[in-house]
Structure 1
Amino acid sequence: MYAGFSSSTGEKVSSHYILGWSFSTDGEAPQLNHSRLPMAPISEKTSSPFRPSVIAIIASLCGVAAILFAVLFFRAAYMKRPRFEVLEDWELDCPHRFRYQDLHTATKGFINSEIIGVGGFGAVYRGRLPTNGNDVAVKKISTPNSSQGLRGFTAEIESLGRLRHKNLVNLQGWCKRNNDLLLRFNIVKGIAAGLLYLHEEWDKVVIHRDVKSSNVLIDAEMNGRLGDFGLARLYDHGTTSHTTKIVGTIGYLAPELTRTGHASTSSDVYAFGILLLEVACGRKPVETSDFILTDFVVESHQMGKILDAADPKLNSAFVIKEMEVVLGLGLLCSHPNPKTRPTMREVIRYLNWEDKLPVIDDLGSSDSLSRSNRFMGAVSIEMITSSIDAGR
């Protein structure tokens, strides 16, 4: 047989003590002398099985964990909400706003291998949207002067966002984050059609002010599209532009801009003429202080050998009629006298063979033109430096 002690507790924690015992295997067990039994220990006030120091450590760790959780929660909530809660007027009227992450993914993280052009405000990247698989060109504004870049960005959104034409780059959407872009005859015709739309066919007159080869994009079907509207200005038909700041790119600036700073559709036509010559000749508008593209073509024209100015890399593999009209029209559009230049509607008629290109016989000597162009370049560099912040 076995003898022992057992006890149990109810719903509450309790302590049980053996103060004495009497046992006998033969007969009655001796009586206990209660006076000699020890006193039961005083019950502890706390029912916790942990010591106070352990409890303090656990409480401290719980507090730190709670604080970290709160920080992570508010950070996550802040990252998910739009960065610009108060939208400006131009933002309310503009197309779809893309998530930065979508554009980052579309351009493979804005890697250099996806760059298709670089302008004054930043680089333009080739991209494919992850949402619908559409091919897009993503212009990323990156300039040391954030206010200057934002003004150009706003101007481009305001103008390009409302324009729709097959030969203009259509704005698919925009993204703003942390205050943080082979030309031949058919392509030239497409750019001319785009400029005609800007100058005459839209609700307002749009002066691009930065027509140049690096602002021309081509799609998969080799259609030319004019982009980069960061310097564009709008005004009503029947009025004149009040713009007096000289902005643009050296070599494409009309001579009258250096005298008045007054941009017009005619100054866009001048830049388009330089673009024509650049496309046909395969040379930059200003390569060195001794080479001005317009001088080079004028000299060839005056010698009766205008085809000698054609790009030698073509190896004469071009339609002579098309090359002659592109070179001749380039000289006419880039004429020093704004009144002699054609309108873009007339340009379209020349390129479509609807009108015959007029005889160009009043270009003057290449020396005089050279002096004019060099004066234009010297003045423009100085004036653009001083006015670029206010004009963009």
Structure 2
Amino acid sequence: MAWGLFQILMISFFHLIKLSSQQETSFVYETFRSQENLYLDGSATVLPNGLLQLTNASDHQMAHVFYKDSIELSSSKPLSFSTHFVCALVPQPGVEGGHGMAFVVSPSMDFSHAESTRYLGIFNVSKNGSPSSNVLAVELDTIWNPDFEDIDHNHVGIDVNSPLSVGTASASYYSDIKGKNESINLLSGHPIQVWVDYEDNMLNVSMAPREVQKPSRPLLSQHINLSDIYPNRRLFVGFSAATGTAISYQYVLSWSFSTSRGSLQRFDISRLPEVPHPRAEHKNLSPLFIDLLGFLAIMGLCTLTGMYFFKRGKYAEITEEWENEFGAHRFSYKSLYKATKGFHKDGFLGKGGFGEVYRGKLLLSREKAVKRMSHDGDQGLKQFVAEVVSMGCLKHRNLVPLLGYCRRKHEFLLVSDYMTNGSLDEHLFDDQKPVLSWPQRLVIIKGIASALCYLHTGADQVVLHRDIKASNIMLDAEFNGRLGDFGMASFHDHGGISDSTCAVGTIGYMAPEILYMGASTRLMCMPLVFSWLK
């Protein structure tokens, strides 16, 4: 009896030891000469000197590298892990680097659904923010994407199921010697150390240059319950990177990981493989060829000088002191002219009461809509600019965001996001367009109602649009309604009274008494209700 009990205890003891060993994962790669237990996908490759190269000089690439063995996390233990890696992001000479790389925790190594460029080979448009994504990423981002609410073009972010970071900070490290944060240029090409620690539902991210020890203060600290993100607790860890038209070489030099913070293995920083830096090629030139180049340079300078004065009038702009007070982003006329291919008819979208609208694509960005208007009178222009630029302070998902403007002598240009599905009136009155379903119509109505509620009650000032109609309601790629064209809008303080004394709006969409009395005799929102019912 006693011997049988002893055998049961011994079997249970060894079983517990086996379970404990299964639940703890720890590995270290001083270099990547040995690819044991590594899964490489896309452009990822290991160079002869042991560098793990994620992306190279090709555009629109994706790369994934994962530790092959999954991490089996015990349901009885709180989820925790620590990792330390050294990376380097090297841009090509004269080319803007991008888009960055990320440390990834995922229940799968299959990212065939992901997209390159700003999605970093992890996310895509259709699953942006979906809980089914089940991805945690710590991104090193070198491109500013305003759609993702990026703070700058050199930042670190914590992403949960979406490229919209739940926590972000400009790339820097806390210097224990100086007692303050020191900035780090992610695209310097120099090795950068990164630490990611997760314990007690707190994710800490730290970084430092190669020669600096781990800072005493993390760069980012974010409370995250990863148990909700990963219900099956079977995970893979690794890296992802992507390029677009902006490209760079992205490397991982060394990597250590452990599910037990205290047992994270260290690697020798002094023995890291050397990071290659691409150089522009130079050729030896003969003296005669140099003289010829000098002559051609002088002739070219004279030609360029003449072209400069010739084109100066073509791209001339006007700037006045009062414009500085608004703080909105000002585009150069030249950039808008090139983006719209000289306001070519192929990019013409439509014409309204305030001017013509063209489609254009600015450098390294998505398509934009450029509205081109003429103006008369400096005082009238100043008032219009004050109202329109004020729209730059309004942030709501159902408003067409104003990105900036440009002013010339006789015209004014406004830049906003391009709405893929055009305006609502096209879908209501154009027989060539598919009929909107009732669910789609309901989403549009609720979206515009939400925008009006925000304009009337949620903004710093009460904003009266005063020209609600189908042609001023734009539809994005998912047929969400977005209110645009604030050329007739007025602003006044909450609790105050609009000082409008003249009839403003589009006939047929205005309350009837406005045409005869100059202003509505009812509440300020009644003209909007009338146009809404129309």
Task: Provide TM-score, normalisation by structure 2.
Answer: 0.35
Give the number of the structure whose alpha-carbon radius of gyration is greater.
1
Considering Cα pairs closer than 8 Å and 6+ residues apart, tell me whether 1 or 2 has the greater RCO. Answer: 2
Higher strand share: 2
Task: Provide TM-score, normalisation by structure 1.
Answer: 0.46
